[in-house]
Structure 1
């Protein structure tokens, strides 16, 4: 089974750019695009993240209507807004009262995967590559040039470049192999995906790094229950650290998280404890760098949850 998985992950697939219109939209090169590859030596096991994902500072149990919680974004210091992958609603969750204050319909039913806030507007990504923008004037729809084949699951706002980033769970496009995963930058005016990915994830490099993390944990006697252990990587969420500018990418299927530097180089990869993360689906940073990670209820849990993690030493 392991040999079969390795063969599938490394099988080259001829993929085109997201769409022909994507290249046209990016021809003006208004933004620098980093086309990078992680085909480098995986970081040593000591390359750990600043967060201990086995020890949340706080945990928030979600109500039943958010059992399929698929994405989160901060809405000020007291609220988190979430979406779930069946109905076109935004759910404003109050971190103080631990209740949903308001449900805001933005669209019809659909497979919505992630949400990002830009100013007073909300952007929602659907799995077929369509982007929705909800504002005081209503909801607008945009074709990003990405498609259902790309399986667009992660969405975040990159404040430094003032653009949205989209992480693809499926085909990476841009001529990359299926052993890689792509994160695209959207044009700030047209919301079309740039022709070249902003960041490229190499599955084998991630596997090697996560294997090192597992070995280090075993050596120290910390054998906390893990699921997947990085034997593949299918992005389910993406977020940019507000202080370092590093890019964090979550994977629900393999239950892991990776950290890239601003140039897209792989810094660290860690498996997540299965008891805390039945199906990890959402990421959101506070301005100071605290990290919220959301998980669906999954098959083994009765409720979805959002966990808060503070950087080590804080």
Structure 2
């Protein structure tokens, strides 16, 4: 997937919310979508991370083989979830063991987790959002659905809102060849009427003659990687906001790729992840200083999920 490039489309003002009964509340926030005509980054533009050389490696226990999301829980712990049971796994980075398992819900296809203060938010693939706080769990309707395949969740400290990345249908009148990232309104946790970022899949394939072949090849890794429709090859699996630059990072498991957008939604860089390290990349989490944890599910060869730490370079 060399020289992967990505363009973003301007959202039309008439876009509607993906679910008819979704009602936005609170102050209206701007849509950060860049013009498709904007100049793409130069070929070979890279991020501030060398994804081939992790600074640290953290093997996951067998119960986290289906690791689907991570969030930083302090300087010594990362909390992870897996996509079958409603548990939070408190992983100790020093001992490389799970210290606690915290049940928050029943069985379900849980895809990502975010921490906001002392609360934990968990996103299920059908658009349901769960908040675990003080030993109690609440469930919220976001207006997104299973058709959207909500796979990525993160907290945006600048706007004090949650962002949700959709793997499936983008909603809002967009085409099936696009991918959407929605902002959830504070308090109600309803998706805003318009996506805050829109990713155009066709632009990825048009950016390089080698892109499509690379995507299809890497799409064979992991449990969900055998679909032939090339419009589905960019499939967001995680999202995170850099704490210093406020840039948005979007992970795509299907082709082991990661993209970086600036605050306006302009593409800064896009690059592949090494297939030997990432059979199915599923989680992102930043440290306060800008170092980056990237998680992957277990592959057919490794049989073990792993979290890698990458140090920021030149920041």
Q: TM-score normalized by structure 1?
A: 0.86
Q: Distance in 1 between matches of 2:207 and 2:53?
A: 21
In the other structure, the counterpart of 1:33 is 30
Deviation at 1:265, TM superposition (A): 1.3
Displacement of 1:16 in angstroms is 5.7
**Does the CA contact (< 8 Å) of 1:49 and 1:259 recur in 2?**
yes
Query: TM-score by structure 2 length?
Result: 0.86
| Partner Cα distance (1:246, 1:289) in 2 | 11
Moved >4 Å (runs of 4+): 208-214
Paired residue for 2:125? 127
User: Which aligned pairs between 1:243-262 and structure 2 lie closer than 5 A?
Assistant: 243-262=244-263
Which has more helix, going by share of residues? 1
Which consecutive residues of structure 2, in runs of 5 or more, have no partner in the other structure?
1-14, 221-229
- Give 1:143 shift: 0.2
Q: Give the match for residue 97 of structure 2.
A: 99
Matched, 1:159 2:182: no
Let me know the Cα RMSD of the aligned residues: 2.2
Q: Is the 8 A contact 2:114 2:122 kept in 1?
A: yes
> Partner of 1:132: helix, strand, or coil?
strand
Determine the C-alpha separation between the residues in 2 that align with 1:120 and 1:236: 24
What is the CA–CA distance in structure 2 between the aligned matches of 1:202 and 1:185, rounded to whole Å?
A: 18
Distance in 2, Cα, partners of 1:100 & 1:35: 38
Does the CA-based 8 Å contact 2:17-2:191 persist in structure 1?
no
Call closer, same or farther: CA 1:313–1:265 in 2, change over 3 Å: closer
**1:19 equivalenced with 2:33 (yes/no):** no
Q: Partner of 1:227 in structure 2?
A: 218
Structure-to-structure mapping, 1:188-227, within 5 angstroms:
188-208=186-206, 227=218
Contact kept? 1:153, 1:235, Cα under 8 Å:
yes
Q: CA deviation at 1:17?
A: 2.5
Aligned residues: 286
The aligned residue for residue 295 of structure 2 is 294
* Structure 1: stretches of 5+ with no match in the other structure: 1-14, 215-225
| Equivalence for 1:44 | 42
State the shift of 1:267 in Å. 1.5
